[in-house]
Amino acid sequence: MPLPRRLSRELPERDGESVRIAGHLEEYRALGGVAFALVRDGSGTTQVTLKKGTTDPALFATLEGLARESVVEVEGTVSRSTKSRRGVELLPSRLEILSVAEVPLPLGVVDRVPAELNVRLDHRILDLRKPAVRAVFELRAELLAGFRAAFARRGFLEVETPKLLRQGAEGGATLFAVDYFGAPAFLAQSPQLYKQMLIAAGLERVFEIAPAFRAEPSDTVRHITEFASLDAEVGYVTDPEEIRALLEGIVVDAVAATREALLRSANPLASGIPELHPPFPRIPFATAAAALGRGLDDDFGTDEEKAIGERAEREHGSPFYFVTDYPSAVKAGTFYAWRRDDDPSRTGYFDLGFRGLEIASGGRREHRLDRLQENMRRAGVDPARFASYLEGFRFGMPPHGGWGLGVDRLVQGLAGLPNIREARLFPRDRYRLEP
């Protein structure tokens, strides 16, 4: 017989039925004539109640002294009970130990005292057993499903581009070098060049959800070295506003779908997910800079981003907002960004912010080969090293644009997590390559 899976949640609807559950032993308490075992599976925790006189005495003996977090399988009858947490208990007739946990646990699963994040991440498999931690990954999975559905509705094709590259696209400082059979190669910082090449290939609307790698030496709560990048690229757009409207619609749909799914599954994070009322405010870079009393020469820092987010919330009542019309000076290294023909000091680039956190950046690209090569040279990039990328522009490239969105940052924001590392199962940063 196959082992039972994720049954705990269904028990309240199965009163009187004989069932088998399996999971981790959260706790075992014997109080005179009765004993309680809490068994946690992938859907919740079930109270198993053993009663002297009714329950086989051998079952008490099996559980007595069994280490917490050992794995057990329990067969029994579901019975309504006002005293148990979820209004239902399991009266066991058979019990089997599937795996004994070692003692002591390096990290408690039900401890009241919160452990430090580093200790939690060192022992992530135990940390992930906590329902509140699992809730984050249920949110994440719903969000990704919501994004995929939103892209599908708009006719996008899901693609996968290579992560081992000969060239980077986002500047040399954050490139991870790897030894590729004795030759130098790099881990992809972004699918940027490939998603543009797919527009040249005539695919018109593509998206990708895949890891991106950045050698971020800074230790912050919003940077990791491996993050999930949700990238989109769209052909035949010329006005950056068309790209913003697409991104806005997709985010609104995905966040709404996530909220609904979490409400349905009674996920505790559901209440923190905002109901969105588009349009999101569009704040020109120059307006945001003026409000902060600063110039247009470099990008906003963390505190400035926070101030812009607070202002958007206060003045427009929106947790999401666009910062538009990035100055060309700020995007000098972004050679693929289109500079406005009527005002070359501004690009068609924007950021999407969520509560003071930059979530996405994107815009219109330069699709004209001569101008692109000019941008490259100005950025100190040798076009000769990008021959296969440029081939796309030599043989018919539609005007196009797109964006890259940091999934981990969005999950961090939606789940209200203080640190981005908590939004990934096994995060990577400068100091962490394990587990």
Residue 47 touching ligand AMO (CB under 6 A)? no
Range list of H helices, 157-274: 192-200, 240-264
Q: Could you tell me how many residues of this chain bind ligand AMO (CB under 6 A)?
A: 23
**At closest approach, how far in Å is the CB of 223 from ligand AMO?**
4
Site residues (CB under 6 A) for ligand AMO, limited to 214-253: 214, 216, 223-224, 227, 229, 231
CA dihedral 301, 187, 250, 363 (to 10 degrees): 60
Nearer to ligand AMO, 129 or 331 (CB): 331
CA dihedral 419, 424, 147, 242 (to 10 degrees): 50
71 pairs with which residues across the strands? 24, 99
Nearer to ligand AMO, 55 or 361 (CB): 361
Nearer to ligand AMO, 173 or 178 (CB): 173
Quick one: which of 190, 169, 163 has its CA closest to 333?
169
Q: 428 phi and psi, to 5 degrees?
A: -120, 130
* Residue span binding ligand AMO (CB under 6 A) among the ranges 41-49, 262-270, 287-295, 401-409: 401-409
**At closest approach, how far in Å is the CB of 250 from ligand AMO?**
14
Among 235, 240, 402, 413, binds ligand AMO (CB under 6 A): 402
Residue 325 touching ligand AMO (CB under 6 A)? no
Residue 364 touching ligand AMO (CB under 6 A)? no
Cα torsion 211, 216, 219, 220: sign: negative
Tokens of 344: 């070359």
Q: 12 phi and psi, to 5 degrees?
A: -55, -25
Site string for ligand AMO, 415-434 (x = CB under 6 A): -----x--------------
Quick one: which of 332, 394, 333 has its CA closest to 369?
394
Residue 375 touching ligand AMO (CB under 6 A)? no
Nearer to ligand AMO, 73 or 242 (CB): 242
**At closest approach, how far in Å is the CB of 402 from ligand AMO?**
5
Quick one: which of 432, 434, 431, 425 has its CA closest to 407?
425
Nearer to ligand AMO, 119 or 173 (CB): 173
d(CA 252, CA 279): 10
Among 8, 46, 361, 375, binds ligand AMO (CB under 6 A): 361
User: Chain-centre distance of CA 420, in angstroms?
Assistant: 9
Residue 327 touching ligand AMO (CB under 6 A)? no
* Residue span binding ligand AMO (CB under 6 A) among the ranges 25-33, 39-47, 126-134, 402-410: 402-410
d(CA 127, CA 208): 29
**At closest approach, how far in Å is the CB of 349 from ligand AMO?**
7
Residue 140 touching ligand AMO (CB under 6 A)? no
**At closest approach, how far in Å is the CB of 331 from ligand AMO?**
10
Identify the three-state secondary structure at position 139. Answer: helix
Q: How many residues does the chain have?
A: 435
Residue 320 touching ligand AMO (CB under 6 A)? no
Counting Cα atoms < 13 Å in the Cβ hemisphere of 244 gives: 22
Edge to edge, the sheet with strand 164-165 lists 164-165, 183-187, 177-180
Q: Which residues bind ligand AMO (CB under 6 A)?
A: 170, 190, 192, 214, 216, 223-224, 227, 229, 231, 358-362, 402-406, 408-409, 420
